[in-house]
Amino acid sequence: MGIQTVGASLAPKDSSRWLILITVIVGTFLGRLDQTIVNLALPKIIEDFSITVSAAGWIATAYILANAVFVPIWGKLGDTTGRKRVYIAGFGLFIFGSVLAGFAWNLGSMIVFRVIQAIASSADYPTAMAIIAFTFSEGKERAQALGIWSSAFAASAVLGPLIGGPLIDTFGWRSVFLVNLPVGIIGLLMALAYIPESKVERSSHAFDWWGASMLGIALSSLVLVLDKGTEWGWISYESALCYLGIFGFGYVFYRIEKHHPEPIIDLKFFTHGPFVNTLGNNFIVFMGMMGSVFLLPIFAQTFLGYSATQSGLIFIPMAAGFMLSSPIGGALTGKVETQYVIAFSTIVAAIGMSLFTWLDVRSSILDLMIPLFIMSFGLGFGMAQRTNAIASLVPESEMGVASSVLALVRNIAGAFGIAIFGTVLKNTTESNVLSIVNNSELYTHTQNATQQFIALIELKAQITAYHTIFMLASCVMLVGAFFALMSRIPEKRLKNALSSDTSMNQFEL
């Protein structure tokens, strides 16, 4: 089947390339900022709608489910119908969904409008990455551009609490949605003006809707059990139904993709060693990072007495580390082999993560900030390489699909990390309580002494459990470094191999 990329000869000139990069950064930043800000608004939404915390959890769960399901669909549509077209459609729908969410009147309407936002937001990552890869075709420059773009993720994570807090306090929770309208319109106009169209010309086949549906059900089951497994119980009836959905519909998806002429995800990707190992590194790194870092605000507020705003401030060094090191990582392209950059960055991140094992109730804010900076600096200078490696290992005609696979792996890894580490924290705390009780003795049996004794045991058990989590996360990241070293990643794209076949055996391994 003949395949070629439309617009390959129409790649943007130097004068407009950086405007294109700025444009997609605006979209990425806005989408990720929205996720962070909405979490801050949940207490006010709970109060306004008179709902429980458990019910409000579905606002986040629905968003995660819809986002995971639609990422591969948008990636495929971008490759086949036009990346600019899909990017703009997603951006416009995101603005529309944001305005609707700003006027939500109850929990049901909010969930529906958040699903609309999630569907739209899922278009950003695969199309933005493909647009950048098309715009910056030279390996080193592409890596630098992807590194700068990646820093938008970190910036949004930090600026979310800093922007969202004042907005909510001054204008109410609806403002965190409605603010997307003016900023979104600016980003949309920039996209219309600066982003060129690029897509793939190929023989006409019907879109793989059956494959997309089966993948959607399997992913929904996976994300749902990861999000709710701790609450339901991992061997509960509800969890068992999710496991059945994962494996049953996942198998049907595999059978469909194996024979479809235009699969939504090309399974040949997963026969390519460097591609699989690079995905493995991404999965393990994001699982370790998300699974442990989400616990830091809980630790800061529970044991150090920080407010929600103070807890948000501790992540400023994390954004600084990403933004400082991402361009450095891009500049290393062509000078140091990619797998060594990724491996070393993962090791540095593991060292930063291990420093959290020193935390206790007497820790200062610097004891949180310094490890976060080291961890994010390490991840940052390898982030461009992780992203660029995926872009370099697939045909340009499949860039959107490969980008969606990367986004999917990172999102699922984060969900895995949060679910697994949350469960480990709970179980380790309970185990520590029993161990400490068996090795402790109380000599004064007054009521006050007994209460203090119990409180100290619980405190010691929880602090030690956090140490276990951070050490586990550090070890997980070291495994990620091993995956990186197992990859032999080409240092530049072999463009001449993209003439007539999408098979992965075109690439020099």
Return the CATH number at 110: 1.20.1250.20
181 with 233, same domain: the answer is: no
Q: Are residues 148 and 67 in the same domain?
A: yes
Based on the fold, state whether residues 91 and 168 are members of the same structural domain: yes
How far is C-alpha 336 from the geometric centre of its chain's CA atoms?
26
> Residue 135 CB: number of other CB atoms within 10 A?
23
| Residue of 394, 479, 391, 509 whose CA lies nearest to 147 | 391
Of 244, 242, 214, 247, the C-alpha closest to 228 is 242
What does each C-alpha distance from 506 to 15, 394, 498 come to in angstroms? 33, 10, 8
Asked if 185 and 213 sit in the same domain, the reply is no
Confidence (pLDDT) at 200: 62
Counted domains in the chain: 3
Domain co-membership, 273 together with 190: no
**If we measure between CA atoms, which residue out of 14, 18, 305, 24 comes closest to residue 144?**
18
| Side chain identity, residue 418 | I
Q: How does pLDDT run across 286-344, given as a tens digit for each residue?
A: 888 877 777 887 788 788 888 766 776 787 888 788 878 877 877 777 778 888 888 89
pLDDT tens, position by position, 476-505 = 889 888 888 877 665 544 333 333 333 333
Q: Which residues neighbour 282 within 8 Å (Cβ) at sequence distance 6 or greater?
A: 386, 406, 409, 410, 413
Same domain, 141 and 217: no
Do 278 and 378 fall within a single domain? Answer: yes
Is the predicted pLDDT of residue 132 greater than 50, yes or no? yes
User: Which domain range does residue 106 map to?
Assistant: 1-206
Task: Give yes or no: residues 67 and 155 share one domain.
Answer: yes
Helix (H, G, I), strand (E, B) or coil at 4: strand
Q: Residue 113 pLDDT more than 90?
A: yes
Q: Do 331 and 385 fall within a single domain?
A: yes
Question: For 145-167, what is the mean pLDDT?
Answer: 74
If DSSP codes are grouped into helix, strand and coil, which group holds residue 202? Answer: strand
Same domain, 242 and 95: no
Range from 92-101, 119-128, 254-263, 479-488 that averages highest in pLDDT: 92-101
**What is the three-class DSSP state of 491?**
coil
Of 186, 184, 159, 164, the closest CA to residue 175 belongs to 164
Residue 37 sits at the vertex; the CA angle it makes with 155 and 73, to the nearest 5 degrees, is 80
More confident residue, 24 or 133: 24
Residues 126 and 232 in one domain: no
Percent of the residues in the chain that have a pLDDT greater than 70, as a whole number: 88
As a residue count, the chain comes to: 509
- 34 with 120, same domain: the answer is yes
Picking from 206, 221, 243, the residue at the C-terminal end of a domain is: 206
Instruction: Evaluate whether 90 touches 37 at the Cβ level (below 8 Å).
Output: no
Res 376 pLDDT > 60: yes
